Amino acid sequence: MSNSYVDVLFIFSLLCATGLIMAYFESKKRNPLRLPLPPGPRGLPLIGNVLDIPSEYEFLTYNDWRRTYGDLVSLHIFGKPLMIVNSAKVAHELFDKRSPNYSDRLNLIFIFSMGWDWNLGVMRYTERYKEHRRLFHSYFSPSATTRYHTILRKEAQIFVKVLVEKPDDFQHQLKHMAARAIMLIAYGHEVATDDDEYVQVAEAANKTFSDALNPGSFLVDFMPILKQVPYWMPGASFKRKAREWRKLSRDLIERPFQAVKRKMKEGTALPSFTSILLEESTQPGSKIDEEIVQNTAAMAYAAGADTTVSALTSFILAMVLHPEVQARAQAELDSFIKGERLPDYSDRAEEKTPYLDAVVSEVLRWNPVTPLGVAHAVTEDDTYDGYFIPKGTVMLPNQWAILHNPDDYPDPLAFNPDRFLKPDIKDPRTAAFGFGRRMCPGRWMADAELWITFATVLTTLDIGRAKDENGQEIVPDGRYNSGFLSHPLPFKANIKPRSERALRLLNEAVDQI
């Protein structure tokens, strides 16, 4: 063996030893009490727990791990710590009480390379994020949301009328109604046809965004070194996808926004979130940033359309599976409507619908729109319950597990609105819409849209089970897709007007719109 080889080997060994010593002292400095990480399944060298994460319905596996390892489960993905939050107690303590340290997001390389860095849901916790959120909140806060009640009520009535005409097409009509409402609110754009150009762009863009958010879809978020791989090499498929999908993101935020600006110049723009803010931005001393207006308007659609459709479809499914719940909610509405009118938000304000409110809550809990929330990132080292949580840890809230914890919601798989008539039950909105400073800022409008749509449907329609060619009832299996956004898989329903009187009321209301 040559002396030069021995020298190189010695220097290499010395560097390795030095690195290990430095890592040891850095670890001791950051974690002086030598606290362990939370328990979790044992991983493999280098790749960690990559093979432990299922390709679908991950939230169910994480919920099973809760029984074995506890409410906070620790994993490693290519050396990066990942922790699953499986209980409301842990989520409340970390995401709510310690929100300054748990409000950041990952550096989502793939999502950002797709051009979605404008989206509040994935934006890093910076001053830019806070500016966007302040503007969004000012127009979608609980008090501000009331200005959209008329639009939401009218759209619910139009939806039900179309449903009477096309009862077998209810899933598509739900999607169309949600798109109409949010496009009118955000851009003053009236969606007249099923092939509306802006809706088609938005739906296509939202599909790519949802696919990209599926946990583990693109390893570049856990292996940033892949960002340096050329487009043509194996392992760089994310770059080709991102380049392909980026145009959809730009079209989503730019095309309807530019249409509003054009209509404002022509004097034909309808009042909307965008037109009002653009008008305000021209006033002396205004600090409204046009780019933030553009981004938040697109965010209103991106956050609202698909999520609302999922909850509304779950409602239809629940009514098919549980006719006794439907009958009770209808009886509550009938007790004060008496077949003389359609429901309005004043009925909710006057607390006339406690059972219907419970139905809304149970729909949000029963099959949450996002079974797994968007991951949080830890800003600084922390400890919890005797465990060490390193800076940079990915914290993934298992919203399905939280909303199906039998300690909080007995018999959690059952659809049972009665549970929310008890005063001590946890409001599912504390988990269904996210946590802390990353809670969905559009949650009040989503809740308002669900309530008025449920109320209008139940006042005017009966939702029953379809029958097969032999006259036998078809009972849906209640299965949902696997993905970031959870939707019931296609099912059949028998939807018809409750009475001629109900149909006449509906037609009269729609004719006046």
Q: What is the pLDDT of residues 456-513, one digit of tens each?
A: 999 999 999 999 999 999 999 999 999 899 999 999 999 999 999 999 999 999 988 7
- Compute CA distances 449 → 4, 77, 426, whole Å: 75, 39, 22
Is the pLDDT assigned to residue 223 strictly greater than 70?
no
pTM beyond 0.75, yes or no: yes
**pLDDT at position 154, please?**
96
CB pairs under 8 A, 24+ apart, for 388-391? Answer: 388/31, 388/35, 388/36, 388/37, 389/37, 389/38, 389/83, 390/30, 390/31, 390/37, 390/81, 391/30
Do residues 116 and 136 lie in contact, with contact meaning Cβ atoms separated by under 8 Å? no
**Segment 352-390, tens digit of pLDDT:** 999 999 999 999 999 999 999 999 999 999 999 999 999
Model pLDDT, residue 456: 98
- DSSP 8-class letter at 351: T
- pLDDT tens-digit map of 383-440: 999 999 999 999 999 999 999 999 999 999 999 999 999 989 999 999 999 999 999 9
**Over residues 84-88, mean pLDDT:** 98
Is the predicted pLDDT of residue 13 greater than 50, yes or no?
A: no
Contacts of 143 (CB under 8 A, 6+ apart): none
Express each pLDDT in 282-337 by its tens digit.
888 888 999 999 999 999 888 777 889 999 999 999 999 999 999 999 999 999 99
The separation between the first and the last C-alpha atoms of the chain, rounded to the nearest angstrom, is 91
Residues in the chain: 513
Query: Taking the domains of the chain in order of start, what are their residue ranges?
Result: 27-511
Two structure tokens written together for 7:
């020298």
Lowest mean pLDDT among 12-16, 127-131, 264-268, 454-458: 12-16
**Backbone φ/ψ region at 288: left (φ over 0), alpha (ψ -120 to 50), beta:** beta
- pLDDT band of residue 228 (cuts 50, 70, 90) is low
Q: Supply angle C-alpha 272, 276, 282, rounded to 5.
A: 150
pLDDT band at 237 (very low <50, low <70, confident <90, very high): low
CATH number of 27-511: 1.10.630.10
- pLDDT at position 29 is 66
> DSSP letter at 104?
B
Share of the chain above pLDDT 90, in %: 73
pLDDT at 17: 46
Contact 446, 304 (CB under 8 A): yes
CB 488 within 8 A of CB 321: no
Q: pLDDT class for 239, splitting at 50, 70, 90?
A: confident
pLDDT value of position 109: 83
pLDDT of residue 241: 79
Find the Cα–Cα–Cα–Cα dihedral 399, 405, 408, 412, rounded to 10°: 100
Distance in angstroms (rounded) separating the CA atoms of residues 324 and 435: 33
Question: Is the pLDDT at 227 greater than 80, yes or no?
Answer: no
Give per-residue burial for 442-457: e unless 16+ CB within 10 Å, then b: bbbbbbbbbbbbbbbb
Nearest to 432 by CA among 366, 382, 507, 498: 366
pLDDT-based confidence at 8, cuts 50/70/90?
A: very low
Mean pLDDT across the chain, nearest whole number? 90
At 270 the three-state DSSP class reads: coil
pLDDT at 200 over 50: yes
In the block, which residue shows the tokens 């060619």?
Answer: 469
Three-class SS state of 294: helix
Tell me if 440 is assigned to a ligand binding site. yes
